[in-house]
């Protein structure tokens, strides 16, 4: 589903990604862990072209993102993204937040978009919040709306950038539960997270990044149970 080859990304003189190679298969859940500033968000943002890459190749579902002839908007609709900050439209109802993009981008009717939106809200456990406004929701509920909104575009891939980092601890579980359900349904997912329990339980593969490179990757058992690199060990010692 995703192939990244020798990806480099610089901001001016600062080289943030220094040769990243990795692949994500269909239905695979890859969790990306690593210290702050290691380039995790930049990597995700390159995957849906929120950042232009400096060098290297990214192929998403057969589309070479670095091909200038590519219709990037078409590829972008295949990729859903959920951020630490929920970025909901504050003046729109929950239902509108979920139904809006499909109506505008996919040009489906209002009735159909709203019917789908209601189904997605039910899926994330918020069927009763369709008419609420974001400010009336808890952080966990907002993030579940943001997930429903991303799913409304029927993406083939979901990218999550620390989706639970802004939440009060007691609200983290409800969001991780929704993400786990998605994983079980076979969604292809790349999840940047500090939730090591989630990475261990739900991740098919764990990627450890530090200093703009992938230091080590493997199954959760390999990374958590028997890390090879001293940098991985050191990081895990600090967070576990
Ligand atoms: P992480 O998500 O692992 O914490 P980031 O990808 O956000 O790391 O950032 C990696 C490095 O790139 C940091 O040093 C950060 O300051 C820098 N960086 C990120 N975005 C920009 C930008 N738009 N302009 C300049 N530097 C940036
Ligand atoms: Mg980040």
pLDDT digits (tens, 9 = 90+) for 93-136: 999 999 999 998 888 999 999 999 999 999 999 999 999 999 99
In eight-state DSSP terms, residue 224 is I
Ligand 1 site, CB within 6 A: 11, 14, 16, 34, 36-42
Q: Whose CA is nearest to atom 1 of ligand 1?
A: 37
Tell me phi and psi for residue 99, to 5 degrees.
-90, -15
What's the CA gap between 65 and 123, in Å, rounded?
31
List, for the chain, all residue ranges whose pLDDT scores fall below the cut of 70.
none
Sign of the torsion formed by the C-alpha atoms of 123, 125, 128 and 130: negative
Q: What is the pTM of this model?
A: 0.96
User: What ipTM goes with this model?
Assistant: 0.98
Please give the C-alpha separations between residue 110 and each of 60, 74, 101, 113, 117, in angstroms, as whole numbers. Answer: 30, 21, 11, 5, 10
Structure tokens at 70: 């590519």
What pLDDT is recorded for position 64?
Answer: 93
Centre of ligand 2 to C-alpha 40, Å, is 5
Centre of ligand 2 to C-alpha 107, Å, is 33
Nearest-ligand number for the alpha carbon of 36: 1
What pLDDT is recorded for position 48?
Answer: 87
| Ligand 1 atom showing the smallest separation from residue 192 Cα | 2
Centre of ligand 1 to C-alpha 46, Å, is 12
Centre of ligand 1 to C-alpha 61, Å, is 26
Nearest-ligand number for the alpha carbon of 160: 2
Q: How many helices (H) and strands (E) does the chain have?
A: 9, 10
Nearest-ligand number for the alpha carbon of 162: 2
Q: In this structure, how many other beta carbons lie within 10 angstroms of the beta carbon of residue 80?
A: 24
Tally the residues of the chain. Answer: 240
Centre of ligand 1 to C-alpha 151, Å, is 27
- For the stretch 146-155, pLDDT in tens is 999 999 999 9
Structure tokens at 93: 């109802």
What pLDDT is recorded for position 75?
Answer: 86
Q: Whose CA is nearest to atom 11 of ligand 1?
A: 37
In eight-state DSSP terms, residue 155 is -
Residue with the two structure tokens 């029927």: 154
What pLDDT is recorded for position 49?
Answer: 87
What pLDDT is recorded for position 113?
Answer: 96
Question: Of 16, 40, 162, 208, which is best to mutate to test ligand 1, by the most ligand atoms within 8 angstroms of its C-beta?
Answer: 16
What pLDDT is recorded for position 67?
Answer: 87
| Ligand 1 atom showing the smallest separation from residue 212 Cα | 10
């Amino acid at each position: 589903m995703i192939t990244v080859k020798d990806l480099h990304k610089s901001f001016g003189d600062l080289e943030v990604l220094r040769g990243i190679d990795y692949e994500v298969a269909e239905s695979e859940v890859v969790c990306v862990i690593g210290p702050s500033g290691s380039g995790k968000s930049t990597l995700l943002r390159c995957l849906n072209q929120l950042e232009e890459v400096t060098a290297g190749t990214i192929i998403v579902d057969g589309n070479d993102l670095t091909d200038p002839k590519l219709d990037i908007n078409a590829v972008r609709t295949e990729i859903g993204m959920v951020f630490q900050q929920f970025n909901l439209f504050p003046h729109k109802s929950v239902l509108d937040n979920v139904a809006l993009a499909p109506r505008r981008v996919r040009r489906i009717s209002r009735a159909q978009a709203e019917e789908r939106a209601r189904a997605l809200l039910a899926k994330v456990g918020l069927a009763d919040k369709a008419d609420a406004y974001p400010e009336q929701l808890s952080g966990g509920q907002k993030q579940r709306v943001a997930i429903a909104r991303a799913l409304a575009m029927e993406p083939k891939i979901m990218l999550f950038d620390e989706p639970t980092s802004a939440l009060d601890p007691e609200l983290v579980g409800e969001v991780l539960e929704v993400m786990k359900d998605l994983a079980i349904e076979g969604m292809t997912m790349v999840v940047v997270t500090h939730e090591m329990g989630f990475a261990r339980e739900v991740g098919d593969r764990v990627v450890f990044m530090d200093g703009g490179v992938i230091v080590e990757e493997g199954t959760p058992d390999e990374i958590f149970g028997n890390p090879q690199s001293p940098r991985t060990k050191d990081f895990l010692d600090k967070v576990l």
